[in-house]
């Protein structure tokens, strides 16, 4: 790795840390952040680590009007030996650049970004919680900063990385979620931005989530935008089904985000000689498998929850209860294996883990 | 109208104004801005006019990550008698609230917003250019400000209005644009956010625009996201066709923005006893009308350009040249009538104009 020059300006006023045994997700932030600027003609410049501080922008900055922005999400874990582990972070930097390409944001130097991330984490290492299931959530993001009211690509950007200590996702053991199948709202469509990690996709999803939660469902199952038939994602996660011994996940089609957890699950399953197929799968096929008693398990995959077992789908006034609403054995095994690799308590056959 | 209490804090340092005879769009901003805050449990509060100033937000503010934001765009004109005219501003405030509903942002008091807007314009009235075709562009917008990394509705927001003096859209007479029909990228789909004025729609559109401009086309024609067949919008405008004496515009279907100019054009045409139909219209139908010599005119409608005549469509390697690439008589008549009403040089039969 090259020796990148990152200016470091440490804080003189360290914050009081929250209680690490009762952390909420995404509410607390560490003492420092990474920033780098982009200026047309000059490229990305001035990478620096500075005290965590507010962003000051002109009210006409394009991020506020035209949503030109991308982000990533990954985690760092502290092992019992006080080592800091990242899980496939190069995948997140690659995806950030794929998102950049879709949103017309200039490419970043992935190696520099990773180097900066490691530096930042090393500086704020006291903020990494160590209790079982806890971690340091990492949020790299880029925003368009040019003050200009016109629909065009911005001529200036800021790339930032902020860090947030997060508690265990499952505080009282794995708890399957209930999911409403969404038939009115659409998250993304082929030709849109669904396979980019960009703000507008999440803004579009809020309404469906709000309406589902009114009827007691915590997330929605997204169907495709063209035919409202094929399954795409669940909440902000990729989705897997176990049907009659075989594992199926929707094929990447341009409107599905290519999850790092999704890819890792596929590799793990193949490693275990379990058949896993990436293909189109319709809600009707799920319903039929359910009726025939062949729908054995369903689960979401994503950085936050790692594996999120699904206990029930609500579709057209019918409740499809899966595995008696309990966590299935495959979901559990995947969760244990992945989190074990991530936090260093299990061997890492794929070389996924990166030490800071 | 109620007597709203808006705190006013005038600047002590007025900016130097740009040269009003060579204004660009959206680059200069006036001396003041309007701000109002929303806090959960308290509602919208503290409406105030303050010196134009940067926005300072936590890096975790939700606008930067999940794109929960809406905006509007309208114009103020200065008449020869130094009166300030707004064009149907209540329509923009209504649409802002419709966008709010889709984006799970709390409703604003439309009357208060309009009152605030008038106050702000009165304070910065020296900034309204008066040359033919110039105006003051008005940008109300709302952003989610809660510092929280989780896909949910924000618990706090800021509503702002900024003002920008803009030059004449057509500096050397009306100039028809060349449009590439977009067959790969999609702006919006039924069930998505296409009928809301929200940042993500514009972010999604940049890539298509960038690719079209490489081949010499200034904007793209958007087709529907489901079948990639039916015409939706052109660039950031609504679209109209004149085919065999009849005017046709795509019917509002959930993925098309309900333009104020679109609605005004429909009313004007009916007033002139010209048939105008809102219905689904496919690119194939346009192609056929073109082949039969029946495609007489095409034009976009929107606040910025008012009427933007289309001289050519590029579709499947074929150039469809309309009216010899020149501005058609109906486009011209609509432009003259609408701008005449807007800047007070023509009578206002519909009561559209609002005096500040
Ligand atoms: C929309 C969406 N789908 C899927 C995922 C899962 O991706 P990953 O496994 O890389 O976290 C995410 C992000 O976490 C997401 O935001
Ligand atoms: C996507 C889009 N379509 C259409 C329009 C036209 O709307 P209006 O006539 O209200 O300006 C706009 C805004 O100007 C727009 O952003």
* Domain coordinates in residue numbering, chain B: 7-168, 177-342
For A178-217, give one letter per residue: b (16+ CB within 10 A) or e: bbbbbbebbbbbbbbbbbbbbbbbbbbbbbbbebbeeeeb
pLDDT at position A1 is 56
Domain A177-342 = CATH 3.40.718.10: no
Q: Whole-model pTM above 0.90?
A: yes
Contact between chains at A203 and B103 (C-beta distance less than 8 A)? yes
Reported confidence tier of residue B172, pLDDT bands at 50, 70, 90: confident
CB atoms within 10 A of CB A51: 14
Which whole-number Å values give the CA distances from A39 to A36, B24, B63, in the listed order? Answer: 10, 21, 22
Of A193-197, A293-297, B172-176, B244-248, the least confident? B172-176
- The finding on whether B238 has its CB within 6 A of some atom of ligand 2 is yes
Q: What is the C-alpha to C-alpha distance for residues A148 and A143, in angstroms, rounded to an integer?
A: 14
**Range A59-75 burial, b when 16+ CB lie within 10 A, else e:** bbbbbbbbbbbbbbbbb
Q: Establish whether residue A200 lines the binding site of ligand 1, counting it when its CB lies within 6 angstroms of any ligand atom.
A: no
Q: Which two tokens stand for residue B286?
A: 């346009």
Mutate to test the pocket of ligand 1, among A99, A186, A237 (most ligand atoms within 8 A of CB): A237
CA distance B148 to A268: 32
Q: Two tokens at B50?
A: 């303050």
> If pLDDT is split at 50, 70 and 90, which confidence band does B1 have?
low
Q: What are phi and psi of A231, to 5 degrees?
A: -80, 135
Distance of alpha carbon B212 from alpha carbon B205, whole angstroms: 11
How far is it, in rounded angstroms, from Cα A221 to Cα A282? 12
Q: Considering only CA atoms, which residue is closest to atom 15 of ligand 2?
A: B236
Kindly tell me the burial class for residue B347, based on how many C-beta atoms sit within 10 Å of its own C-beta (0-12, 13-18, 19 or more). Answer: exposed
Looking at all shown ligands, the one closest to residue B222's CA atom is 2
Q: Which of B206, B219, B304 would you mutate first to test chain A, the one with the most A CBs within 10 A?
A: B206
C-alpha to C-alpha distance for A17 and A128, rounded to whole angstroms: 11
The finding on whether A301 has its CB within 6 A of some atom of ligand 1 is yes
φ, ψ at B142 (rounded to 5°) = -130, 135
- The length of chain B is 356
Measured in degrees and rounded to the nearest 5, phi and psi for residue A113 equal: -60, -40
Say what the pLDDT of residue B171 is: 75
Output the CA angle B69-A260-A169, nearest 5 degrees.
70
DSSP track, A157-181: EEEEEEEEEE--S-BTB--PEEEEE
CB A185 to CB B192 under 8 A? yes
Q: Which residue has the tokens 């109208």?
A: B1
Q: What distance in Å separates residue A21's CA from the closest CA in chain B?
A: 19
The 3-state DSSP class for residue B66 equals helix
Does residue A149 sit at the B interface (CB-CB below 8 Å)? Answer: yes
Rounded Cα–Cα distance for residues A26 and A165 (Å)? 8
Which H, E and C letters describe A78-132, residue by residue? ECCCCCEEEECHHHHHHHHHHHHHHCCCCCCCHHHHHHHHHHHHHHCHHHCCCCC
Does B254 touch chain A if contact means CB atoms closer than 8 Å? no
Nearest to A204 among B55, B143, B200 (CB): B200
Is the CB–ligand 1 distance for residue A344 below 6 Å? no
d(CA B336, CA B307): 9
- Chain A residues with CB inside 8 Å of B54's CB? 56-59
pLDDT band per the 50, 70, 90 thresholds, residue B124: very high
Whole-angstrom distance, CA of residue B355 vs CA of residue B78: 10
3-state secondary structure (DSSP) of residue A323: helix
Count CB atoms within 10 A of the CB of residue B242.
Answer: 24
- According to DSSP, the residues that pair with B32 across neighbouring strands are B51
3-state secondary structure of B65: helix
CB contact under 8 A, A149 and B141: no
Judge: A148–B27 Cβ closer than 8 Å, yes or no.
yes
> Quick one: pLDDT at residue B74?
98
Neighbours of B273 (CB within 10 A): 6
Ligand 2 contacts CB of residue B233 (under 6 A): yes
CB of A69 within 8 Å of any CB in chain B? yes
The DSSP bridge partners found for residue A179 are: A219, A313
Pairwise CA distance, residues B195 & A160, whole Å: 32
- DSSP state for residue B89 in the 8-state scheme: H
CA dist A48 and A160 (Å) reads 10
Contacts of B265 (CB under 8 A, 6+ apart): B240, B249, B276, B301, B307, B334, B338
Confidence check: pLDDT of B277 > 60? yes
Residues of chain A short of pLDDT 70, as ranges, are 1-2
CA atoms of B290 and A234, how far apart (whole Å): 45
Q: Within the 48-67 window of chain A, which residues sit less than 8 Å (CB to CB) from chain B? A: 52-61, 63-67
Concatenating the DSSP letter of every residue in A204-238 gives: HHHHHHHHHHHTT-SEEEEEPTTTS-BEEEETTBE
Tell whether ipTM is more than 0.85: yes
Question: Taken in order B170, B171, B177, B183, is the CA torsion positive or negative?
Answer: negative
- How high is the pLDDT of residue A171? 75
Of A26, A72, A238, A254, the residue with max ligand 1 atoms within 8 A of its CB, to mutate for a pocket test, comes to: A238
Which helix (H) or strand (E) is A199 found in, with range?
A: helix A199-214
In which band, very low, low, confident or very high, does the pLDDT at B169 lie, cut at 50, 70 and 90?
confident
Contact A150 B64 (CB under 8 A): no
Bridge-based pairing state of the strands B156-166 and B135-144: antiparallel
Residue showing tokens 């208060």 = B112
What are the tens digits of pLDDT across the range B298-342? 999 999 999 999 999 999 999 999 999 999 999 999 999 999 999
The residue to which tokens 């966590």 are assigned? A327
Which residues on adjacent β-strands are paired with residue B162?
A: B139
A301 touches chain B (CB under 8 A): no
Tell me the three state secondary structure of residue B312. Answer: strand
Distance B236 CA to ligand 2 centre (A): 6
DSSP state, A8?
E
Q: Note whether B173 contacts A: Cβ–Cβ < 8 A.
A: no
Probe target for ligand 2 pocket from B206, B265, B302, B334, with the most ligand atoms within 8 Å of CB: B302
Residue B218 has pLDDT above 90, yes or no: no
Residue B283: band (very low, low, confident or very high) from pLDDT cuts 50, 70, 90:
very high
For ligand 1, is residue A199 a contact (CB within 6 Å)?
no
Domain B7-168 -> CATH class: alpha beta
Asked whether the domain spanning B177-342 has the same topology as the one spanning B7-168, the reply is no
Burial class (CB in 10 A: 0-12, 13-18, 19+), B149: buried
In the prediction, which pLDDT does A218 show? 87
How far apart CA A209 and CA B332 sit, in angstroms, is 46
Which residues on chain B are in Cβ contact (under 8 Å) with A210? Answer: 104, 153
- Please report, in angstroms and rounded to a whole number, the separation of the first and last CA atoms in chain A: 13
Partners of residue B178 on adjacent β-strands = B312
pLDDT of residue A2: 67
pLDDT above 90 for B2 = no
For residue B200, the surrounding DSSP H or E stretch is helix B199-214
d(CA A126, CA A77): 12
Does any ligand 2 atom lie closer than 6 A to the CB of residue B257?
Answer: yes
Across the interface, which of B149, B185, B191 has its CB nearest the CB of A139?
B149
Question: To the nearest 10°, the Cα dihedral for A147, A149, A152, A153?
Answer: 20
- The DSSP-derived string for A16-61 is PPPPGGGPPTT----SEEEEEEEETTTEEEEEEEEES--EEE-TTB
pLDDT for A128: 97
């Amino acid at each position: 790795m090259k020796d990148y020059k990152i200016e470091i300006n440490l804080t003189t006023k360290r914050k009081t840390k929250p209680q690490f045994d009762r952390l909420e997700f995404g509410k607390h932030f560490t003492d420092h952040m990474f920033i780098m600027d982009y200026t047309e003609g000059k490229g990305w410049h001035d990478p620096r680590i500075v005290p965590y501080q507010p962003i000051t922008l002109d009210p006409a900055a394009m991020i506020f009007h035209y949503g030109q922005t991308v982000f990533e999400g990954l985690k760092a874990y502290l092992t019992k030996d006080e080592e800091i582990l990242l899980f496939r972070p190069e995948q997140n930097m690659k995806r950030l650049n794929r998102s950049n390409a879709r949103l017309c944001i200039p490419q970043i130097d992935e190696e520099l970004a990773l180097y900066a991330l490691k530096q930042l984490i090393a500086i704020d290492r006291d903020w990494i919680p160590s209790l079982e299931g806890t971690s340091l959530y990492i949020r790299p993001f880029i925003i368009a900063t040019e003050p200009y009211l016109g629909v065009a690509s911005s001529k200036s950007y800021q790339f930032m990385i902020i860090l947030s200590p997060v508690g265990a996702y499952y505080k009282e053991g794995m708890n399957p979620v209930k999911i409403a199948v969404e038939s009115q709202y659409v998250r993304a469509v082929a030709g849109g931005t669904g396979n980019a990690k960009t703000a507008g996709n999440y803004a579009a999803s809020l309404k469906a989530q709000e309406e589902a939660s009114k009827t007691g469902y915590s997330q929605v199952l997204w169907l495709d935008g063209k035919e409202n038939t094929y399954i795409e994602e669940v909440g902000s996660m990729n989705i897997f089904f176990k049907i009659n011994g075989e594992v199926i996940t929707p094929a990447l089609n341009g409107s599905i985000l290519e999850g790092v957890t999704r890819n890792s699950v596929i590799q793990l399953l193949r490693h275990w000689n379990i058949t896993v197929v990436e293909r189109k799968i319709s809600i009707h096929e799920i319903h039929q498998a359910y009726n025939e008693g062949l729908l054995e398990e369903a689960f979401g995959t994503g950085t936050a929850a790692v594996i999120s077992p699904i206990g029930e789908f609500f579709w057209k006034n019918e409740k499809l209860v899966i595995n008696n609403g309990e966590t299935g054995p495959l979901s559990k095994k995947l969760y244990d294996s992945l989190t074990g690799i991530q936090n260093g308590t299990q061997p890492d056959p794929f070389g996924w883990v990166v030490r800071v």
